[in-house]
């Protein structure tokens, strides 16, 4: 009788530990380790290729003498969306003020990294396609 009571008491305690570990561990592991990274394809149609900068779904398509370049609009500091200023031809982050030139290279501010450059390729219909990881 005494052994049975002891067994039930210990089972309840260890069960509580297991539930506690699950309650603490699930949010930590779901945040840290099990994020699914997927890719998104963005196509800029031919009529969107005349401007110096075009924005679509978190990506800037930049036109230069060398051709087209796609840049992620996500600031490398803490992830805010940068804005392109046509007059100064720079990107400015509205959150903490980082600045990047038109090719995405860091100029000033806390980011200290360039904007992410994305691959570009022509589509059969004359558009420009890029792929961004989200
Ligand atoms: S998020 Fe852009 S400078 Fe901080």
Is residue 83 within 6 Å of ligand 1 at its C-beta? no
- Residue whose token pair is 């990294």: 113
As a CATH number, domain 39-133 is 2.102.10.10
Among candidates 65, 58, 26, 31, which has minimal Cα distance to 44?
58
Q: Provide long-range contacts, Cβ within 8 A and 24+ apart, for 53-57.
A: 53/84, 53/86, 53/102, 55/84, 57/132
pLDDT digits (tens, 9 = 90+) for 66-108: 899 999 999 999 999 999 999 999 999 999 999 999 999 999 9
10 CA distance to ligand 1 centroid (A)?
51
pLDDT confidence tier of residue 60, bands split at 50, 70 and 90: very high
pLDDT, position 36: 74
pLDDT confidence tier of residue 25, bands split at 50, 70 and 90: confident
Q: pTM of this prediction?
A: 0.74
72 CA distance to ligand 1 centroid (A)?
14
Task: For the chain, give the mean pLDDT.
Answer: 90
104 CA distance to ligand 1 centroid (A)?
14
| In contact, 134 and 122? CB cutoff 8 Å | no
Beta bridge partners of 126: none
Is residue 78 within 6 Å of ligand 1 at its C-beta? yes
Atom 1 of ligand 1: nearest residue by CA position: 78
pLDDT, position 35: 66
Beta strand spans in 1-134 (E): 39-44, 53-56, 59-64, 67-72, 83-85, 90-92, 99-101, 106-108, 117-118, 120-122, 128-133
Atom 3 of ligand 1: nearest residue by CA position: 96
Q: Which atom of ligand 1 is nearest to the CA of 82?
A: 2
- In the chain, domain spans: 1-35, 39-133
6 CA distance to ligand 1 centroid (A)?
58
pLDDT, position 53: 95
* Highest mean pLDDT out of 30-34, 37-41, 98-102: 98-102
């Amino acid at each position: 009788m005494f052994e049975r009571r002891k067994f039930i008491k210990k089972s309840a305690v260890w069960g509580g530990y297991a539930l506690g570990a699950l309650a603490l561990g699930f949010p930590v592991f779901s945040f840290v380790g099990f994020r699914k990274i997927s890719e998104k394809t963005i196509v800029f149609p031919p009529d969107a290729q005349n401007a110096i900068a075009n924005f679509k779904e978190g990506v800037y398509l930049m036109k230069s003498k060398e051709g087209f370049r796609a840049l992620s609009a996500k600031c490398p500091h803490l992830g805010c969306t940068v804005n392109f200023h046509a007059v100064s031809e720079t990107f400015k982050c509205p959150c903490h003020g980082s600045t990047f030139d038109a090719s995405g290279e860091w100029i000033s501010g806390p980011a200290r990294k360039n904007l992410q450059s994305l691959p570009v390729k022509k589509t059969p219909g004359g558009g420009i396609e890029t792929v961004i990881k989200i």
